[in-house]
Every structure is written in C-alpha cells, then in structure tokens.
Copies of this chain bind each other. A is one copy, B any other.
Amino acid sequence: MDVAVPFDAVDPKSRLSGVFDADERTSFARVLLVDVLDAVRATGHEPTVYATGPVAVDAEVVVDERGLDSLCNSLLDDPPVAVVMADLGLATPAALKRLFDAEGEVVAAPGLGGGTNALVVRDDTFSTDYHGVSIRDHRQIASDAALEWTEIDSLRLGVDVDERADLVEVLLHGDGEAPDWLRAHGFAVAVRDGRATVVRES
C-alpha cells in the first residue's frame, strides 16, 4: 500500500511562529517529518513524501504544489492509499499498524479540533475534503458513498503538532527525534496552574 505523507515545505508550522523563528520552524517541521517516516517504515511500508517544495529527507520526495485535496484525490484514483500527516509527533509504529491493519473501506484517525490525521482508503469512490471540520466531512462523504467507515481511537495519531500546547505532548510522549530537538533548543515541561506546559530556557 502506498503511504503518502504530504508536507508543507514552503511555510511549515506557521502557527508556531510565536514559539520558533523561521529557521527553527523549518528545522522542527523536518524533524517531525523524519519521525513520521521512521514510524511508517517500521510498520513495513515505504512512505512517499509529497512536498510543496524541495525537502532533504531520506525518502522518495515528489514535489507537488497542487494543494492537499487535489493531491489526495489524484492518489485515490489508485487505491489502496494511506495518507498520514507529517506532523504526528507522537505517532508510533504500533499506532500506525492499527490504522493500516484495520478493516474498512475508509479508515480514519481523527485529530483534535476536527481534523483527519491519517486515512486509509480502499475504494476510489471516496474523496477527501480537508478544509473545515474534515473528520465530520469525511464521515459524511463515506456515508454518502455507502462505504464502510472505521475510526481508529488513538491519542498518538490524534495529536498533530500545530500549536504551543502540542509541544508538551511531544516532550512527554514522543519517542523519535522531535523531543530531543525540543530539549536541545531549550524547551522543558513545567507545571503552571496544575497543568503541564512548555517553557523555554534562554
């Protein structure tokens, strides 16, 4: 099965611009990508990166500027296809294996905030719509096409690393390079008002 990992190489992790400078965002986004690629490979699948521009990683990289839905709907012409987001900083081989091995014509891992963090599609009548509340839209698209829909209940696939609050999850639960990168750049877990958060030591 093809495992596509779409990647924004032009302005990655823009919601983290209050936390990282531009070079750090580029570097951190690449580290997250590498962690996802490693986790995919450990399941026995070979990932392909579909990037909006050149990116130097040890994987096949296809530069494709069409946007996420155009890209996915082109890939879906030839199922089965998996689409795994590049910023799943907690993804493990075990979590991805549950996704890849689950039965269903469409298998989805919901993300926090209504996203669809990973998909397996086994029927070419499905199409993606990643804008807005994509998990709800994807459920509806599958239902309208009378396709068997399966959801994977995974916190590790449910956290995409977009915002400052997500960094604490990477530090607490990540097992790739991303938590090391964060620590090397001065980030640490702290407790404020009884909740875990990240602080940056300068």
Contact = CB atoms under 8 A, between A and B. Distances in A.
Interface of A: 92, 94-95, 110, 112-115, 131-133, 135-136, 153-159, 165, 168-169, 172-173, 189, 191, 194-197
A153 B195 CA distance: 20
A168 B95 contact: no
A113 B173 CA distance: 10
Nearest to A151: B173
19 contacts: A92-B153, A110-B155, A110-B173, A113-B169, A113-B195, A113-B196, A113-B197, A114-B191, A114-B195, A114-B196, A115-B196, A131-B194, A132-B194, A133-B189, A133-B196, A136-B172, A154-B155, A155-B155, A155-B157
Given A92-B153, A95-B153, 10 more contacts: A110-B155, A112-B112, A113-B196, A114-B172, A132-B191, A132-B194, A132-B196, A133-B196, A136-B172, A154-B154
Contacts of A168: 113-114
A9 to B, nearest CB: 19
Most buried by B among A157, A159, A195: A195
Contacts of A159: 112
Contact of A133 (B133, B153, B191): B191
A191 B129 CA distance: 14
A156 B153 CA distance: 6
Contact of A155 (B158, B165, B196): B158
A11 to B, nearest CB: 14
Contacts of A153: 92, 94-95, 154-156
Q: A-B pairs with the 3 shortest C-beta distances? A: A114-B196, A155-B158, A133-B196
